[in-house]
Structure 1
Amino acid sequence: MSKKITNNNDQGSQTSAPLEEAAVTPAQHTETLIESDVRLRPLLKPAGIIFLCSLAISFFVAQTVNPVWVEQKTVFQVYESSNGSLVYTYKGEEVAFTADTVPYAQAELNQQSLDQLVGEPTTRQQWVTEVVSNAGEESVQYAQLEAKYHLGIWSLLPAVLTIALCVLTREPLTALLGGVAVGAFMLGRFDLTGDVLIPSLASPGTASVLLLYLWLLGGLLGIWSKTGAAQAFADYMTKHFVRGPRSAKVVTWCLGVFFFQGGTISTVLVGTTVRPLADRENVSHEEMAYIVDSTASPIASILAFNAWPAYVQALIYVPGVAFLATEADRISFFFKSVPFSFYSIFAVLGTLLLSLGITRFAGGGIRRAQQRAAATGELDAPDATPLAAEELQTSKVPAGYASHVSEFLIPIILIIGTAITTFALTGSPNVHWGFGFALLTAACIALFKGMKLGELVEGLGDGLKGVVVASVILMLAITIGAISKDVGGGLFLVEMLGERIPFWTLPVCLQLLTMAAAFSTGSSWGTYAIVFPLAMPLAWAVAVNQGVSNPELFMTICFVTVLNGSVYGDQCSPISDTTILSSMTTGCDLMDHVKTQLVPATIASAIAAVLWTATVYWFA
């Protein structure tokens, strides 16, 4: 029997070629697994040695290394509400201001006090007031001081170990567990269950992630697998819109741009929606994961009609800088910086070029994956371990049940509609509601069309089993990110920068710094909270001290290098939630996605670095 690859209109110059369809026998499959194990075995010994050495170092650090305490200041615009009480805005929500304040000079947590500190501060958080002068007018500024610390170069150990183990073993679960253990021991938390994992599971953030991606997403995918809804959608799109791999990728890119809320929202919606039709058209999972991931956070920082400006503006206040004086000024500053978000622009443009069949900037890994899928129909590399489980890769439609595309489209419309409506009403999209409505609606439609309750529950169970491993990896990624933050990895990287550098090199220094911090912690927003309060005052001081002729442009470029550098680091990190979810929803091996995406993302980052440096050197 032979399989023929047809020359579709959107496949460029690809010619028809008969290929022998080789059925894989159990013996051949076993042989492949043995060969993969043989290739991996030489790497396990150094991985074990590295882990044991890191474990020993973590005990040494816990016993002997003293923390370096650093002041972190976040300025808030406190104002009087309609009922006369003091409030401030945090992450788009109005919060009552009821804290006691002290003058900044008398604060226990200002840097001068922390430098003289012996032991630990008696409090980790403190509200302060300062009298600041803006355009000759004095006003009272409210700020929250936090006492953060790092452990020097050792602060990077948990993240570096996790990434090294991921690369060596290609097994993210054990790599993350190893990083969590080492980080916890450095902090003196020797009961991993009671001191680390249970508190992490009990945190609202982790519980929210597990609810969304384990129960709601897993259940919805399971129902779609049982009803054949995803396959019906693939059939419909193939018949009306998709004519081959190229158009399947263009549809994916368009959806990525359309879902511009960014981050986990975009990756889940786009990956879940397009995978059936992409698989039908033999698009490699590496290509799909790259397109989904690179049209998530990058597009959110360009089409910033989302929660990003409201969150970031609270972190970039600099005393005495008129164009950052008020919340409205800072949000306006964010939007004015969009044309200079060169990395995000090139990242999105790179995925468009790939979708159109232009692979010059995609890297060898992407090109090999594309050629493999076109020639053999294999969507994953031979030694890949996809995060999507077998339960979600095939439809198990009961006999006599008629699948329809509406069973896929109605839940998707509910998810999008709920997210947009709640964003318009509250300023933040409630994705949990959207997925909850979608899951309930998909179940009701299936029951109404005659599916038995037992069959529906079986589909739900398959869905939960299909995402449980990826959800555990996601939970551990959140845990290692929190531990990296606790040991001060990002804070140490920022302190390494120093202030004695030529002004035109500062943007690229900030870019490299935030790339490393976000890659190490797997979080762009977490990196913003660490870097922005330090980078923006530093940029202003450099602009003033070195006589920069256009300080606002200089500050804008420094701002977008932190914004974009964090997006790059988050996007490329194997411990990032968006990286893991992009792999999970597209069915890609996590480390295959990381390695193939790293090349085009780095090319986009390098081009952006050149443009930022040139802009500052010639125009600032």
Structure 2
Amino acid sequence: MTILSYADSALSLLPPVVAIILAMFTRRVLLSLGVGIILGALLLTDFAVVNSGQYVGQQVAGLVWDDGALNSWNLYLLGFLIVLGMITALITVSGAARAFADWARCHIRNKRDAKLLTMFLGCVVFIDDYFNSLVVGSVARPLTDRYYISRSKLAYLLDSTAAPICVISPVSSWGAYIIALIGGILTAHGFADSGHLNTFVQMIPMNFYAIFALLLLLCVALMGLDVGPMRQHELNAQKGTLYDESKGLPPGANSGLPEADTGKILGLFLPITVLVFATFFFMVNSGADALAEKGQEFSLLGAFENTDVASSLFFGALIGLVVTLALVTIQGVGKKMIGKGIIEGAKSMLPAIYILLFAWTIAGVIGQLETGKYMASLATGNIPFAMLPAALFILAGLTAFSTGTSWGTFGIMLPIAADMAMGSDTTMMLPMLAAVLAGAVFGDHCSPISDTTILSSTGANCHHIDHVITQLPYALIVAGISLSGYLVLGFTGSVMAGLLACSVLFVISIIGLRIKSCQRKA
């Protein structure tokens, strides 16, 4: 079977764009992704229907069995989702979630404090974005439900904390991956003497999108700034409708589970705490083993650079499940209730698993269409030097939006950004690399085919497209602010000038949103 190449063709954009537009308008994610997959397969096989069917079959099989071996990354991540669903359901069955909600009613004073606590937890659990969204969602959901905060708002709190905090944290799966990429790029361009960790830290204030996404989130939590469709979701939540019930149960939701009357807060926090520390241990341990195989000395940063994230999440979740089962057994919860919790918890994750499988399949199709390479090629035209940081921010955003992956965008766009800096002005190397990081997170936040966005919806028990639609206005506001900052940075060569421009625009935006919010309430 001959597979065509579309690296130099705008046709490579067609499948993801069609899938995204269909998802936005029909609100049917699986159907939209399926259409994108079929369209991509037809393009790759020159519209040979039989070959297209074979190709799709190969892609689906590759999700489980790839290159003569099990696809451990995918299987571990799916296993993590199922086990986490079991833990969440057992916590509900034990009555611990309700006990936490009752405690919160006495100690958390209002909606603002509930949102601030959720954001704080997201900043503390920074080791991985998947882990962040799912675990913090499990902890915060009883609290936000108690104060009638919509599931869409919770998903926004999770998603807009997870990626921005991970992309600027060196001790995280994201930070380690970025440091390794940047280290290789700098070494290849003759900057071998520069400390890679130090370089990453220098780039943090240049990542305008991550910084101002977190600041906007803080303002939203403090001031209740509901923009666009989010306002209607919050109004519905005040009436007791936390999510759109006409669409059925959202991914990760448990409905009709019995709850024990003897639940304690410990039943919520001990399993989650064990899960966090066990996952951290396995991440460090798997990274240490990889370093030992390479004959390198152990370091925490080196361990995170070489860690196996998916297996660490899975085994950490298994330890958390064992602790949860022990607690509910000691509590005296009946075997039938425990069994129902395990079964229903696993079943609750199936919608999220279906979406992930489809998203991974279309990601493989997009990879073979070389959509990312085509997007990257747009950056090599005659763009004025002063416009390069802003242009890279936009192109990285479009690439992540189209492909649904920040990490893939990093791998494609960072080397191109470095080459462009070497060919123009090496002093702009780090700002241009930072612009790519910022743009990739922005595009990831907007993309309905992003696995991070999917898992944030799952962690919040929110319908996926509702999360995408309600988060989009906030992401666009921060993107506009960031773009202005990169334009100022490009023309002045000053990071401080870019930050100042972003800060001024940010304050103006918040004042405008605050005035509009007050007018609506009046």
* TM-score (norm: length of structure 1): 0.70
CA contact (8 A) 1:227 1:395 kept: no
Q: 1:364 aligns with which of 223, 228, 231?
A: 228
Cα distance in structure 1, aligned partners of 2:4 and 2:271? 53
Q: Where does residue 58 of structure 2 map in the other structure?
A: 195
The SS at the match of 1:588 is coil
Alignment correspondent of 1:479: 361
Q: Tell me the equivalent position of 2:327.
A: 445
Q: Give the SS at the match of 2:492.
A: helix
Out of 197, 202, 208, which is 2:76 matched to?
208
Q: In terms of mean alpha carbon deviation, does 417-426 or 590-599 score higher?
A: 417-426
In 1: Cα distance, 2:453 partner to 2:173 partner: 20
Pair 319,246 (structure 1): closer, same or farther in 2 beyond 3 Å: closer
Q: What is the match of residue 405 of structure 2?
A: 523
Do 1:384 and 1:592's aligned partners in 2 also have CA atoms closer than 8 Å?
A: no
In 2 relative to 1, CA 540–471 (structure 1 residues): closer, same or farther, beyond 3 Å? same
Q: 1:295-374 maps to which residues of 2 (within 5 A)?
A: 295-316=161-182, 317-318=185-186, 321-322=189-190, 324-325=191-192, 329-359=195-225, 362-374=226-238
Q: Distance in 2 between matches of 1:321 and 1:600?
A: 37
Q: Distance in 2 between matches of 1:530 and 1:411?
A: 39
Structure 1 residue 434 corresponds to structure 2 residue 316: yes
* SS of residue matched to 2:383: coil
Aligned-residue Cα RMSD (Å) equals: 2.2
Mark the runs of 5 or more structure 2 residues left unpaired by the alignment. Answer: 46-51, 66-70, 288-302, 495-522
Contact 1:570 1:576 in 2 (8 A): yes
Distance 1:367 1:165 in 2: 23
Q: Is the 8 A contact 2:134 2:456 kept in 1?
A: yes
**SS state of the match for residue 53, structure 2?**
coil
Preserved CA contact (<8 Å) 1:231 1:395: no
Match of 2:147 in 1: 281
Structure number with higher relative contact order (C-alpha < 8 Å, ≥ 6 residues apart): 2
Contact 1:499/1:542, CA 8 A, preserved across alignment: no
Matched ranges for 1:21-100 at <5 A = 67=5
- Answer yes or no: is the 8 Å Cα contact 2:448–2:454 preserved in 1: yes
Alpha-carbon distance change, 617 to 193 in structure 1, aligned in 2, over 3 angstroms = closer
Contact 2:400–2:441 (CA under 8 A) maintained in structure 1 = yes
Matches for 1:258-297 after TM superposition, within 5 Å: 258-297=124-163
| 1:20 alignment partner in structure 2 | none
**1:226 Cα offset (Å):** 1.9
> Which residue of 2 is the match for residue 402 of structure 1?
262
Letter in 2 for 1:179: G
CA contact (8 A) 1:389 1:466 kept: yes
C-alpha distance in 2, partners of 1:315/1:170? 36
Selected match of 1:170 from 27, 31, 43: 27
The 1-side partners of 2:327 and 2:179 are apart by: 44
Unaligned runs of 5+ in 1: 1-61, 69-149, 544-550
Q: Which amino acid aligns with 1:168?
A: F
Equivalent AA in structure 2 for residue 515 of structure 1 = G
Aligned to 1:579: 453
Instruction: Return the alpha-carbon distance in structure 1 between the equivalents of residues 343 and 328 of structure 2.
Output: 15
- Whichever structure has more helix as a proportion of its residues is 2
Letter in 2 for 1:419: T
State the match for 1:4 in structure 2: none
Query: Matches of 1:514 and 1:529 in 2, distance apart?
Result: 11
The 1:272–1:382 alpha-carbon spacing in structure 2 relative to 1, beyond 3 Å, is closer
Measure the CA separation in 2 of the matches of 1:518 and 1:385.
Answer: 29
Deviation at 1:325, TM superposition (A): 2.0
* Structure whose residues are more often strand by fraction: 1
Match of 2:294 in 1: none
Cα deviation code 1:240-271 (max 9, x no counterpart): 2x122111111111111111224211101111
Aligned residues: percent identity? 30
Letter in 1 for 2:359: A
Distance 2:389 2:149 in 1: 37
Between the aligned partners of 1:275 and 1:319, the Cα distance in structure 2 is 45
1:68-99 Cα shifts (integer Å, max 9, x gaps):
6xxxxxxxxxxxxxxxxxxxxxxxxxxxxxxx
Retained in 1: the 8 A contact 2:112–2:224?
no
Confirm or deny: 8 A CA contact 2:36 2:362 kept in the other structure. Answer: yes
Specify the code of the residue in structure 2 equivalent to 1:238.
R
Are the structure 2 counterparts of residues 456 and 381 from structure 1 closer, same or farther at C-alpha, using a change threshold of 3 Å? closer
The equivalent position to 2:13 in structure 1, one of 156, 169, 175, is 156
Match among 21, 26, 39 for residue 182 of structure 1: 39
Aligned in 2, Cα 1:439/1:382: closer, same or farther, shift over 3 Å?
closer
- For residues 224 and 358 of structure 1, the distance between their equivalents in structure 2, rounded to whole angstroms, comes to 30
Deviation at 1:423, TM superposition (A): 4.4
Q: Which has the larger radius of gyration?
A: 1
Partner of 1:14: none
Pick from 414, 430, 439: which aligns with 1:556?
Answer: 430
What's the TM-score, normalizing by structure 2?
A: 0.83
Deviation of 1:225 (Å): 2.5
Task: Output the CA distance in 2 between the equivalents of 1:449 and 1:192.
Answer: 52
Letter of the aligned partner of 2:319 in structure 1?
Answer: F
> Which residue identity lines up with residue 13 of structure 2 in the other structure?
L
Residue 233 (structure 2) pairs with residue 233 (structure 1): no
Q: Whole-Å Cα distance in 2 between the matches of residues 586 and 235 of structure 1?
A: 19
**Counterpart amino acid of residue 619 in structure 1:** G
Q: Do the aligned residues in 1 keep the contact of 2:282 with 2:315 (CA within 8 Å)?
A: no
Any idea what the Cα deviations from partners look like across 1:388-412, whole Å, max 9, x if unmatched?
A: 365x1454125xx521111111111
CA–CA distance in 2 between the matches of 1:367 and 1:262?
A: 30
1:506 & 1:176 partners in 2: Cα distance?
33
Question: Partners of 2:276 and 2:114 in 1: how far apart?
Answer: 21
